[in-house]
Amino acid sequence: MSIVTVQLGQCGNQIGHEVFNVICGDVHGAHGLCSKKENESYHDACKERFFSEEESEVPVARAVLVDMEPKVISQTLSIAARSGYWKYDDRSHFCQKQGSGNNWANGYSVHGPRHKEIIMNLVQKEAEKCDRLGGFFTIMSMAGGTGSGLGAFVTQCLRDAFPTSFILNHVIWPYGTGEVIVQNYNSVLTLSHLYQSSDALLVHENDVIHKICAQLMNIKQISFRDVNQVIAHQLGSVFQPAYTAEGGLRYSRNPLGDLMETLVPHPEFKMLGLRNIPQMPENSLAYSTFSWPGLIKHLRQMLIANAKMEEGIDWQVRPPRLGFSIPSSPSTNKPLHFNTSIANLVILRGKDTHSVDLGTFQDPSLYTSWLNPQDAFNAWKTPRAFNKYEKSASLVSNSQFLLKPLDNVVGKAWNMFASKAYIHQYTKFGIEEEDFLDSFTALEQVISSYSIL
Amino acid sequence: AVGHKLYGNQYRENIVEKLRKTAEHCDCLQCFFIIHSMGGGTGSGLGTFVLNLLEDEFPEVYRFVTSVYPSGEDDVITSPYNSVLAMKELNEHADCVLPIENESLFDIVNKIHQMINSGKLGSTVKPNSMVTSGAGSAKTVQEKPFDAMNNIVANLLLNLTSSARFEGSLNMDLNEISMNLVPFPRLHYLVSSLTPLYTLADVNVPSRRLDQMFSDAFSRDHQLIQADPKHSLYLACALLVRGNVQVSDLRRNIERLKPSLHFVSWNQEGWKTGLCSVPPVGHSHSLLALANNTCVKPTFIELRDRFIKLYKKKAHLHHYLHIDGMEQSCFSEAISSLSDLIEEYNELDATKGGPRTDPSRLKIAV
């Protein structure tokens, strides 16, 4: 089954391009570390998911590029074509000249309805190219105007036009100290709207990825390209083919469906976080070896302690034991915040994955009480190594990972809303104070639900 | 009055026609730049008339105004009248105003001259890198007295539009500037600063570090009006960087400079950032900072005081009043509009440094 990617705004298009790059590079790389037959299987599954075979010599990405100004899309199209390995369909894009001015209301209420028909036509065309449509993957940032506002509108249209398809929104959380001053408003409006139409929101935070670039990848002058490449690597580690059942004979053909099934048992809980280890500069890979027990141990502790990356993990945090009080730090005596999960998915790629013991992830104390740990935890594996990493482990988690960031964003937006700053910019395009209040209410509800897990 | 009421009405048709013709050439018209001075008659009077016109004829197109404010020793005696009358129009009809003061431009020009003439070893300045140079322009003109100062403003506008003209990893368009820097409709006055002022020609001298460029943008002598944003209250701040600067450099400098700046309570992290890959001619990188800051208040207060000094004595009033359409009420409305604006800034300043009580959040029934 194929996935149609919708790249929205500058961020969406820049990241989308890196994602296809990673996927293509991985498939063509010589570091598969597995049998030829396995490699071919992987290649075929990947191709079916992300690329279509047209008259051109190179595979064509199944993607629709949307932006309200032309520079980023034209850059993205040309860089992809120059790679020689893959390209976008030349007709599968839509852009305007004006941009959305970082204004969610402009993206949602003006550009959305105005260009709905053209954009949905492009999506329909891509969908028809698929033998079987597995769903939609949209990439957008929450901070700006196009990705966020137009993105929310497009997601709604996708839901209306394809009521039974899966929709996964990849959402970029902006830097806390601001890329856009009204980013908190835009974020609140985006999240509340996406929650209604989307099946799940997979979140990447710029601050976190920035730290990974600085501390794990040792990059001195970090550019957005570096950040986007780390994000692309993490996404690739989730979306590349894997066996979803123990002893599975064929690569899963329904990646989005499988993802939703394992991770979103209840529509109130749609926020997914992603962790991937190990992460290191490419030139260090040759000198490093990893053991699965070590990786699993770290990944589990990252889950429990809500660590954003492999460095600085707090090992003091432990899951609460039934009947015992919440564990506290011996030094400060404050209760250590333990990250409760609803559902987790671990994806293992590379050497010796068949022998890995994941029992520690099935510990019932990791999970909220209303799901069986057998249902709450799933594992996907493949012996085929990913993106030059001999062993790679990813964790997609529906847990309290995003509770604090969400609370922060809502708090800041509320603070600004109370002073009515910038509201006139939104009412100008038809988003009124009541709309803001609705969004705030919806998100407070989500925060509350995740808090009481 | 002559500019606004007389010529405005007289030439309205002509002006509209010319505007429409030019606008038709555009695939997609986003913004008008109005460039004028506040003190004179045409720029100020007719200029603000055109501003009104643009709002009527092209309501959806942004109006950015670059206004040169009169200095204390202005040779036009009635410049306070002209300026305050114009201010009312700017208050009501402009989307964004970038005030400029000749004194500041003059100081910057002097600073550069001192640098060139100081004769210090290794301090030769690359001639086309000065913010006062018109290098890269279509023809070489004889440098006239105001040319150097005007080139600074030209470079300001170039930097402002660089993200629209060139590629970058984080584009910042003109409509984004208005969106992010104008929290309330009337508070749309932005203090601008440009760095660096020049690049040294001698490659042996290490170029001023990137971080120095960021520090300079907030210093008093780089601002294009006589103001000190560091000691006043920021409502919002935008940084548009050009050249080989990446997001980590931006972040590092924001973190570094943030503690020494005062931001209003509801916008503690109010930064808008843009990264454009192409630097200006002669530089490897440059920075334009735009601040919505209460430090514009003194400029307005001074304007008001100079106005009142003249108005109290009814000096030169008759020149204005005998123009058709011009009445005493125009003056009183204009000064009250300006006073209201000053009062808005006062209220904001009053919140500076006060205790922060965050409003309580919505409660959800569990």
Break chain A down into helix, strand, coil percent, rounded to 5: 50, 20, 35
Predicted confidence (pLDDT) at residue A434 exceeds the cutoff of 90? yes
Q: What is the ipTM, given to two decimal places? A: 0.86
Average pLDDT over chain B reads: 85
Rounded CA-CA distance B17/A35 in Å is 74
DSSP assignment letter at B157: H
Which residues of chain A have a CB within 8 Å of the CB of B261?
Answer: none
**Does residue A291 share a domain with residue A198?**
no
Question: Residue A78: what pLDDT?
Answer: 93
Which residues of chain B have a CB within 8 Å of the CB of A224?
Answer: 169-170, 246-247, 275
B36 in Cβ contact with B80 (< 8 Å): no
Whether the CB of B344 is below 8 Å from some CB of chain A: the reply is no
Other beta carbons less than 10 A from residue B363's beta carbon: 8
Question: Residue A398: what pLDDT?
Answer: 94
Question: Residue B135: what pLDDT?
Answer: 54
Question: Residue A369: what pLDDT?
Answer: 83
A446: tokens are: 């989500």
Which residues of chain B have a CB within 8 Å of the CB of A453?
Answer: none
Rounded CA-CA distance B268/B280 in Å is 31
**Does residue A369 share a domain with residue A313?**
yes
Rounded to 5°, angle at Cα B361 from B355 and B362: 155
Q: B208: pLDDT confidence band, cut at 50, 70 and 90? A: low
Residue A346 belongs to a domain:
yes
What are the pLDDT digits (tens) for B1-53? Answer: 788 887 878 888 888 888 889 888 988 888 899 999 888 888 888 888 899 98
What are the pLDDT digits (tens) for B107-166? Answer: 888 888 887 777 554 455 666 667 766 655 544 444 556 788 888 888 899 999 988 888
Question: Residue B102: what pLDDT?
Answer: 87
A268: helix, coil or strand? coil
pTM: 0.91
**Does residue A362 share a domain with residue A418?**
no
Cα–Cα distances (Å) from A443 to A271, A296, A383, A416, B269, in that order, read: 12, 33, 40, 16, 21
**Does residue A103 share a domain with residue A138?**
yes
B 226-245 residues with CB below 8 A of A?
235-236
B293 in Cβ contact with B234 (< 8 Å): yes
Domain hosting A16: range is: 2-273
Region of A297 on the Ramachandran plot (φ > 0 left; ψ -120 to 50 alpha; else beta): alpha
Rounded mean pLDDT, A43-50: 91
**Does residue A108 share a domain with residue A98?**
yes
Residue A218 belongs to a domain:
yes
Region of A314 on the Ramachandran plot (φ > 0 left; ψ -120 to 50 alpha; else beta): beta
Rounded CA-CA distance B40/B46 in Å is 10
Other beta carbons less than 10 A from residue B80's beta carbon: 24
Question: Which range (A226-240, A318-332, A395-409, B310-324) has the least confidence?
Answer: A318-332
Question: Residue A231: what pLDDT?
Answer: 96
**Does residue A254 share a domain with residue A191?**
yes
Contact A444 B362 (CB under 8 A): yes
What are the pLDDT digits (tens) for A156-183? Answer: 999 999 999 999 999 999 998 878 999 9
**Does residue A300 share a domain with residue A251?**
no
Q: Domain count of chain A? A: 3
Rounded mean pLDDT, B282-288: 87
Q: A415: pLDDT confidence band, cut at 50, 70 and 90? A: very high
Rounded CA-CA distance A17/A61 in Å is 10
Residue A139 belongs to a domain:
yes
Which one of B187, B188, B244, B267 makes the best mutation probe of the A interface by having the most chain A beta carbons within 10 Å?
Answer: B267
**Does residue A389 share a domain with residue A367?**
yes
Residue A429 belongs to a domain:
yes
**Does residue A35 share a domain with residue A149?**
yes
Other beta carbons less than 10 A from residue A219's beta carbon: 19
Region of B243 on the Ramachandran plot (φ > 0 left; ψ -120 to 50 alpha; else beta): left
DSSP assignment letter at A392: E
Percentage of chain B surpassing pLDDT 90? 36
**Does residue A447 share a domain with residue A388?**
no
Sign of the alpha-carbon torsion through A217, A218, A222, A223 = negative
Region of A398 on the Ramachandran plot (φ > 0 left; ψ -120 to 50 alpha; else beta): beta
Q: A336: pLDDT confidence band, cut at 50, 70 and 90? A: low
Residue A385 belongs to a domain:
yes
Which residues of chain A have a CB within 8 Å of the CB of B270?
Answer: 178, 181
- Nearest beta carbon to residue A421 from set B184, B246, B363: B184
Task: State the amino acid at position B190 in one-letter form.
Answer: L
Residue A305 belongs to a domain:
yes
Q: Where are the beta strands (DSSP E) in chain B?
A: 31-37, 62-69, 96-101, 191-195, 233-243, 262-263, 271-276, 285-293
**Does residue A426 share a domain with residue A357?**
no
**Does residue A218 share a domain with residue A233?**
yes
- Nearest beta carbon to residue A452 from set B183, B251, B366: B366
For residue A381, give the CATH number of its domain: 3.30.1330.20
Which residues of chain A have a CB within 8 Å of the CB of B178?
Answer: 101, 425
Looking at the complex, report in whole angstroms how far the Cα of residue B152 sits from the nearest Cα belonging to chain A: 26
Return the higher-pLDDT residue of A137 and A288. A137
What are the residues facing A386 on neighbouring strands? A389
What are the pLDDT digits (tens) for A277-321? Answer: 999 998 888 788 889 999 999 999 999 999 988 888 888 888 777
What are the pLDDT digits (tens) for A201-253? Answer: 999 999 999 999 999 999 988 999 999 999 999 999 999 999 987 767 788 88
**What torsion do the CA atoms of A187, A193, A198, A202 make, to the nearest 10 degrees?**
10
Q: Which domains are delineated in chain B? A: 1-114+145-351 (3.40.50.1440)
Percentage of chain B surpassing pLDDT 70? 89
User: Residue holding tokens 């009043």?
Assistant: B321
Rounded CA-CA distance A175/A205 in Å is 7
Question: Which range (A261-275, B37-51, B180-194) has the least confidence?
Answer: B37-51
For residue A177, give the CATH number of its domain: 3.40.50.1440
Question: Peptide bond before A383: cis, by omega within 30 degrees of 0?
Answer: no
Sign of the alpha-carbon torsion through A112, A114, A115, A118 = positive
User: Residue holding tokens 């028909």?
Assistant: A117
Rounded mean pLDDT, A22-33: 85
Contact B275 A441 (CB under 8 A): no
Which residues of chain B have a CB within 8 Å of the CB of A101?
Answer: 173, 175-176, 178-179
Residue A331 belongs to a domain:
no
**Helix or strand holding residue B315 (H, E):** none
Question: Residue A373: what pLDDT?
Answer: 82
Residue A330 belongs to a domain:
no
Contact A99 B358 (CB under 8 A): no
**What torsion do the CA atoms of B219, B221, B227, B230 make, to the nearest 10 degrees?**
10
Q: A328: pLDDT confidence band, cut at 50, 70 and 90? A: low
